[in-house]
């Protein structure tokens, strides 16, 4: 049995790979080329004594999800899938290029759907199987100067909940992760700093987020929200009237987009 993790060379994906390996789970890791995935795999193998295979691939290319699924099925029996690959950012819609928007939609929406679809027959063959789709707290409401990102993550949230219900009579449990801000890389840290005290006070460590995510995945939880601040923010985003939320978040994210 093995766990397939996308976006596994950096940030939360890398942290979840380590967390899974510490629990004795063999790994298949996928990431973009040139992100040091082989070095990560070698270190995990040496430290945790698990089997780790890697595949460098741009999942936004046509047919890439199917190629990754075929590679994974040729090399292991997949009983856990973690759809972590995705990206976002803060840009006024007029400043975003069509390529930027299309890549975000393909990675955050299309790839998650197609890869899960391709691996679902395999997952159903195991006594117990898990799928974890990484969304975001941004999925809980519209956000100015992000626009496409929260919409794409809202898809991941609702699709995951619907798929879980559809598969309730099977052995496959689908969960969705709603992380708040995590200081995963220099670009994200810079954007969080531009948000001021909100960006500083609402973050959770990447190690804690990975630990909570994997624990929730293995327990078969439907929705996983790592950290007290994230839980509070999720509540606020559901109870604050939308016009008020848009005014407040617009001021916050305009600074991030314009600096």
**How confident is the model over 51-98, as pLDDT tens digits?**
999 999 999 999 999 999 999 999 999 999 999 999 888 888 888 899
Superfamily of domain 2-258 in the CATH hierarchy? NAD(P)-binding Rossmann-like Domain (3.40.50.720)
Largest CA distance in the chain: 52
Q: Contact 129/217 with Cβ under 8 angstroms?
A: no
91: three-class secondary structure by DSSP: coil
State residue 253's pLDDT score: 74
Among candidate residues 153, 179, 145, the one with its CA nearest the CA of residue 247:
145
State residue 202's pLDDT score: 55
d(CA 11, CA 7): 8
> Taking the CB of residue 87, how many other CB atoms lie within 10 A of it?
15
State residue 99's pLDDT score: 95
pLDDT bracket for residue 174 (50, 70, 90): very high
- Count of helices and strands (H, E) across the chain: 11, 7
d(CA 40, CA 168): 35
pLDDT at 250 over 80: no
In terms of DSSP bridges, do strands 2-6 and 223-224 run parallel, antiparallel, or are they unpaired? unpaired
Q: How many residues make up the chain in this entry?
A: 259
Q: Which residue has the higher pLDDT, 247 or 48?
A: 48
Compute the average pLDDT of residues 217-238. 89
d(CA 145, CA 36): 31
Compute the average pLDDT of residues 211-229. 95
d(CA 210, CA 5): 12
- Which phi-psi region, left, alpha or beta, contains residue 175 (left: φ > 0; alpha: ψ -120 to 50)? beta
Which positions are annotated as active-site residues? 149
Indicate the domain borders of the chain.
2-258
d(CA 174, CA 185): 27
In this structure, of 45-49, 100-104, 190-194, 210-214, the range with the lowest mean pLDDT score is: 190-194
pLDDT at 111 over 60: yes
State residue 156's pLDDT score: 97
* Strand ranges in 104-225 using DSSP code E only, listed in sequence order: 129-134, 172-177, 223-224
Q: Contact 124/172 with Cβ under 8 angstroms?
A: yes
DSSP state of 109: I
Which pairs from 195-200 meet CB under 8 Å and 24+ separation? 195/252, 195/253, 195/255, 195/256, 196/252, 196/255, 198/252
The end-to-end CA distance of the chain, in Å, is 46
d(CA 48, CA 56): 22
Distance of CA 60 to the CA centre of its chain: 15
State residue 134's pLDDT score: 98
State residue 185's pLDDT score: 54
State residue 197's pLDDT score: 47
């Amino acid at each position: 049995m093995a766990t397939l993790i996308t976006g596994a060379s950096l940030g939360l994906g890398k942290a979840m790979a380590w967390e899974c390996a510490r629990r004795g789970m063999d790994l298949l890791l996928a990431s973009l080329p040139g992100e040091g995935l082989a070095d990560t795999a070698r270190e995990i193998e040496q430290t945790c004594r698990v089997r780790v295979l890697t595949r460098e691939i741009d999942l936004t290319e046509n047919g890439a999800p199917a190629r990754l699924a075929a590679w994974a099925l040729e090399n292991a029996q997949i009983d856990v899938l973690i759809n972590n690959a995705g990206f976002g950012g803060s840009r006024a819609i007029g400043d975003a290029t069509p390529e930027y928007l299309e890549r975000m939609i393909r990675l955050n929406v299309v790839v998650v759907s197609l890869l899960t679809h391709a691996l679902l027959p395999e997952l159903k063959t195991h006594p117990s199987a898990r799928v974890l789709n990484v969304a975001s707290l941004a999925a809980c409401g519209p956000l100015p100067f992000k626009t496409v990102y929260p919409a794409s993550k809202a898809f991941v949230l609702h699709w995951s909940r619907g798929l879980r219900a559809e598969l309730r009579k099977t052995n496959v449990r689908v969960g969705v992760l709603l992380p708040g801000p995590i200081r995963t890389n220099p670009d994200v840290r810079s954007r969080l700093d531009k948000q001021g005290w909100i960006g500083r006070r609402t973050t959770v460590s990447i190690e804690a987020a990975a630990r909570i995510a994997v624990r929730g995945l293995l327990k078969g939880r439907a929705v996983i929200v790592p950290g007290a601040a994230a839980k509070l923010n999720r509540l606020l985003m559901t109870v604050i009237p939308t016009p008020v939320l848009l005014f407040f978040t617009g001021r916050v994210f305009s600074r991030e987009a314009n600096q």
